Structure 1
């Protein structure tokens, strides 16, 4: 009998629909809001096994396994997302429930966010500022860890060698009993990245990069219903920026980040409470000359306190109150050049607080509603009142429908406010109103999701040139974005044959209201798909991605646009003695010449081999 279990609010309190109770091992999830989000929103989950298909970097993974458009200045270089036609600053990166977008740039540099070491990597479309804060306008990308109990000792090692002298090594180990759980992992990737694209007369000179990550987490049950948990991540990387001629000026960028949180959780039948304290730090250094001292840089530190309280007033009615307080600090590096202080940021600081309330109502097992409201208190900035409403109805056995409406925002960054010269302390937050509908159809093993959406964004922060010769940000942009996200999936087990298939399509019409033209680097069409087949100890996969015409100028100039392209990857692996796995991958099997950013072609056909040992 097929069982469907919908978990609610804590490991001990849940709403059960269309199924039966099922005993599961206790699992501690650091982002305790995500399981509630999934009750009302479509969330694409990418497993650690799926991550290994696109092990080069997070950019490649999102490009082939999500609807997000990734613009990358050549493989492994600066990279940013576009979600539902929005900008990189309007996509939130969330690590274990904590928003980690940069205080300086307001976005996440995709290739400077670790790829390995998560238990779940999840992509959520649509606004989420009521829960996940500033920047969650177009969507959010969640990097989540969990800790389980009663699983003893487990360990694995993954090693891969590929074209362009690329090497990736990842190891992890965990131990747990009925009261204590511990997990540790580490990753190191390095590449000379010296690929060539003859058709473009392009050699990726000075393209070397490396990155290292260390993750550690622990959880201890201090009482029957109480748990203390800790999760930390340490990241270090360096990127050389590509040059177009042999004697060009060789530059590089280095960054280091620290993320650490501790959580005290109480879970009982009628209520649960999660109290978190977190510390995040970002540091970067830019070297205008590869072998010279740094020419610019910044260091940012965030101290975060967050409490998440849930209470069942009656079995069908739940109230959720989330309070948060942050201290954001930034320190810029401004050397003196010929006696004059260089551009940049001095020492800055601000306090940010918020109060959010959500009410969830479950009148029947097939119908649920959620309404939320939030007020942010940002030092020296007037923030709007945010709200959200979601509903989901399982109308028929084969059809369900959901609706989501919300107001979201993004407050100005340190660079927007304090950059010298040009910072504008009078900026207002960006505002967005969004609505989407999820239509889900089920026929046998097939599932089809169709989600039309609409966003209206105002007070966009845009940097413009001034009469004094420098650039300064102003609230001027208005963007209207609408389109369609759809995905069809199929999974079937037939004796020793296992098939899994998914195909996604996005239509993104994102219009700058000042010009009535499509926004830059927003493709009108994107298609991505993955097919997996397993027979006994053999696994095989194929994945493809089509990207439509993409404008790179504000006037839709065709000759400057990126041409449509289709890229196909494939791989095969074999598991021996249930412990040893050998794999072989071909990336860009079609040998396609393509760019995601003008003048920076991506690699043509390339190869890798991998080995995994499970203990």
Structure 2
């Protein structure tokens, strides 16, 4: 599979060897997000496969916390959770599903624990701005949920079941079939947890009313209708229910429900000198909030998005290519109950152009420009530039510059009371430089960066006693992301190391103070050892002092913590695998959100069958 992916990557991006030769038909492995392979040429991307995700099978928050530079703020295990890249907020993080931005049109962000964990072939984490390709919200970084389809692979299937602490059960089923022209894949997952755990050392905390469940179904298919033409389709359905924790028995228990649907149809036309991908997508989000667990819903909303996107790539020469991306979408939103949001419609169009110079020699670059047309707003012209210089076999440097933006969400504009229809879009400029060193089997990447955000949208308390959004903040963020990787195989012994250190200084320039919930220091370490059919891994994550207010009060800050996990698994007859995991081995008391401790030591057992 690795060899196939390498061949696809070389064709899709460079097309060096086939330009003057015979034309090539659709690739053996089809990747829905065709832009990601090009992005990887110039940006540092953390790629997680299903085996990596399985290490932290509780939820997506755990995966990102232990295996990426992202800071995760979580209101208790499995509850509301939001990401932070490079000192920005959740609204400045784009979630991208197979190339389509899926941030909520109401909140302007993605709730990490209401996004499916299983069912994706790859999860990719990209720090840095990406609005030219991935649209509004891609300011601090983006999280990509990607699927692919293989041809000529026959039938494959697998079943994974896990039993874990706190009455937690996770099940995941996957099946696929493909021949020379047709490929089909279906996955389904279901997770449920009573989720009542105790951390008595932290204010006698008991995670009461913390129950959750979530289900996800993902279906994808592709058919080669002619040598150079392919029709592909992918659809995903998600259903989630979260009970919000309470601190006292006298409190009223509440819950939140959400149902999401996404469908993407794609027509790919690929020849040696050009390729064109036409997509039509529909996404829908539904949510309901229950202020009393056993009473009818209090508020909610329905959001529907209709998207048409065309991606045309033309190879002028084997080294030069032009990429034109046009998109139109219509956003519908209707609030229910106390939200005050009526039936709102917004039209959005954009046109982007990218010029790439890609060679197998020392220097490559990409320059992009984009104009968005957002109904009701003056949108800026966006740009991006990325360059790569391979100075030596052991050293290369990438430079990335960009201007990015985020337009206000429907809640920002219309929520009552407080919505502000006079808001301006956030804009940001950023620069980062990735230095990559290779010595033997070690690779070290060091990425200093700088971000400046103007007209940052922020909800603030008003003299009338309610909260409202304003364009108030000027934010400056700078720091360093570093990552060390190592892979080695000695006979049947496989070693793998992935470690990162992140320093983040993110200041509100009006008061010159560190932003809330932005730790100065974060360290994560993942180490794997495989011998024949036995696999062992450990994870460690250190998080430094984290302020929970705007005035850097150390008395209110989250204290530094170090958490370690470990797991072991063994495979029998090449089909049956059993594994055991211990999370938080040292019983660390820690919080990522004030007053919501995460669990102490806990355990899980998982079983996997391949057929």
TM-score by length of 2: 0.97
User: Structure 2: where are the runs of 5+ without partners?
Assistant: 18-24
| Equivalent runs, 1:243-254 vs 2, <5 Å | 243-254=246-257
The alpha carbon displacement at 1:346 in A equals 1.1
| Equivalent runs, 1:147-296 vs 2, <5 Å | 147-200=149-202, 201-296=204-299
The alpha carbon displacement at 1:14 in A equals 2.7
The alpha carbon displacement at 1:225 in A equals 0.9
How far, CA to CA, are the matches of 2:82 and 2:480 in structure 1? 21
Contact 1:257 1:281 in 2 (8 A): yes
The alpha carbon displacement at 1:419 in A equals 1.3
How far, CA to CA, are the matches of 1:50 and 1:583 in structure 2? 14
CA 1:154–1:25: 2 relative to 1, 3 Å: farther
User: Structure 1: where are the runs of 5+ without partners?
Assistant: 17-22, 335-341
CA 1:181–1:364: 2 relative to 1, 3 Å: closer
How far, CA to CA, are the matches of 2:569 and 2:489 in structure 1? 19
Aligned residue in 1 for 2:600: 604
Contact 2:300 2:339 in 1 (8 A): no
| Equivalent runs, 1:362-441 vs 2, <5 Å | 362=358, 365-441=361-437
Aligned residue in 1 for 2:561: 565
Aligned residue in 2 for 1:338: none
Aligned residue in 2 for 1:307: 310
Aligned residue in 2 for 1:519: 515
How far, CA to CA, are the matches of 2:27 and 2:134 in structure 1? 28
How far, CA to CA, are the matches of 1:92 and 1:293 in structure 2? 32
Match of 1:73 among 68, 72, 75: 75
| Equivalent runs, 1:17-56 vs 2, <5 Å | 26-56=28-58
How far, CA to CA, are the matches of 1:327 and 1:386 in structure 2? 21
How far, CA to CA, are the matches of 2:555 and 2:465 in structure 1? 29
The alpha carbon displacement at 1:472 in A equals 2.0
The alpha carbon displacement at 1:362 in A equals 2.8
Contact 1:6 1:39 in 2 (8 A): no
Q: Given the alignment of the two structures, is residue 14 of structure 1 paired with residue 10 of structure 2, yes or no?
A: no
Aligned residue in 2 for 1:339: none
Alpha-carbon displacement from aligned partner over 1:217-243 (angstroms, at most 9, x marks no partner):
000000001110000100001000000
Q: Given the alignment of the two structures, is residue 575 of structure 1 paired with residue 568 of structure 2, yes or no?
A: no
The alpha carbon displacement at 1:180 in A equals 0.1
| Equivalent runs, 1:318-329 vs 2, <5 Å | 318-329=321-332
How far, CA to CA, are the matches of 1:97 and 1:25 in structure 2? 18
SS at match of 2:125: strand
Aligned residue in 1 for 2:22: none
CA 1:490–1:364: 2 relative to 1, 3 Å: closer
The alpha carbon displacement at 1:7 in A equals 5.3
How far, CA to CA, are the matches of 2:186 and 2:33 in structure 1? 18
Q: What RMSD over aligned residues (CA atoms) do the two structures have, in Å?
A: 1.8
CA 1:10–1:95: 2 relative to 1, 3 Å: farther
CA 1:462–1:45: 2 relative to 1, 3 Å: same
Alpha-carbon displacement from aligned partner over 1:206-262 (angstroms, at most 9, x marks no partner):
000000000000000000011100001000010000001123200000000000000
SS at match of 2:61: helix
Q: Given the alignment of the two structures, is residue 443 of structure 1 paired with residue 445 of structure 2, yes or no?
A: no
The alpha carbon displacement at 1:363 in A equals 5.5
Contact 1:10 1:272 in 2 (8 A): no
Alpha-carbon displacement from aligned partner over 1:280-317 (angstroms, at most 9, x marks no partner):
00000000000000000001000000000000111111
How far, CA to CA, are the matches of 1:221 and 1:457 in structure 2? 45
How far, CA to CA, are the matches of 1:61 and 1:575 in structure 2? 23
CA 1:60–1:523: 2 relative to 1, 3 Å: same
Match of 2:504 among 505, 508, 530: 508
How far, CA to CA, are the matches of 1:79 and 1:9 in structure 2? 38
Aligned residue in 2 for 1:113: 115
Total equivalences in the alignment: 603
The alpha carbon displacement at 1:421 in A equals 2.3
SS at match of 2:201: helix
